[in-house]
């Protein structure tokens, strides 16, 4: 299995659990995040063919959040906001996302517009 990194945009503010938007706005934001993650994952080589090289069983999803500014954030809220993107990655790989074990890290480094970097490794059963 070759090491690859997928870079995704910062999650839309609407997807954060504390946002509480109208259900239709939330549904649209989830749809866009999932589709975007799927397209970007395939473009980065996270596709069904590469998924064949992944080990059976659990997979660790290493998620590095690089915020757009210095505001304080919590990793559980970011992970919830990232859920639709995680589903999009699973779609691109052609696997069930229940195989993922998320390992979120909120980094101190600020990146313009924010970014999320994802790596996948094998894990214990």
Q: How far apart are CA 18 and CA 27, in angstroms?
A: 15
Secondary element (H or E) of residue 115: strand 115-122
The pLDDT tens digits for 64-110 are 999 999 999 988 899 999 999 999 999 999 999 999 999 999 999 99
High-pLDDT (> 70) share of the chain, %: 96
Q: How far apart are CA 79 and CA 103, in angstroms?
A: 9
Global confidence as pTM: 0.93
Q: For 6-122, which CATH superfamily applies? A: Holliday junction resolvase RusA (3.30.1330.70)
The residues near 110 (Cβ < 8 Å, ≥ 6 apart) are 66, 67, 68, 69, 70
> What is the pLDDT at residue 124?
60
| Residues forming beta bridges with residue 120, ordered by sequence position | 61
Domain edges within the chain: 6-122
Secondary element (H or E) of residue 116: strand 115-122
């Amino acid at each position: 299995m070759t090491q690859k990194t997928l870079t995704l945009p910062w999650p839309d503010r609407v997807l954060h659990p504390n946002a509480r938007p109208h259900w239709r706005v939330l549904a649209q934001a989830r749809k866009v995040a999932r589709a975007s993650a799927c397209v970007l994952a395939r473009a980065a080589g996270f596709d069904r063919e590469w998924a064949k090289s992944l080990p059976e069983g659990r997979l660790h999803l290493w998620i590095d959040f690089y915020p757009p500014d210095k505001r304080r954030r919590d990793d559980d809220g970011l992970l919830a906001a990232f859920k639709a993107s995680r589903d999009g990655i699973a779609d691109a790989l052609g696997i069930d996302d229940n195989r993922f074990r998320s390992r979120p890290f909120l980094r101190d480094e600020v990146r313009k517009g924010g970014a999320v970097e994802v790596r996948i490794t094998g894990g214990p059963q």
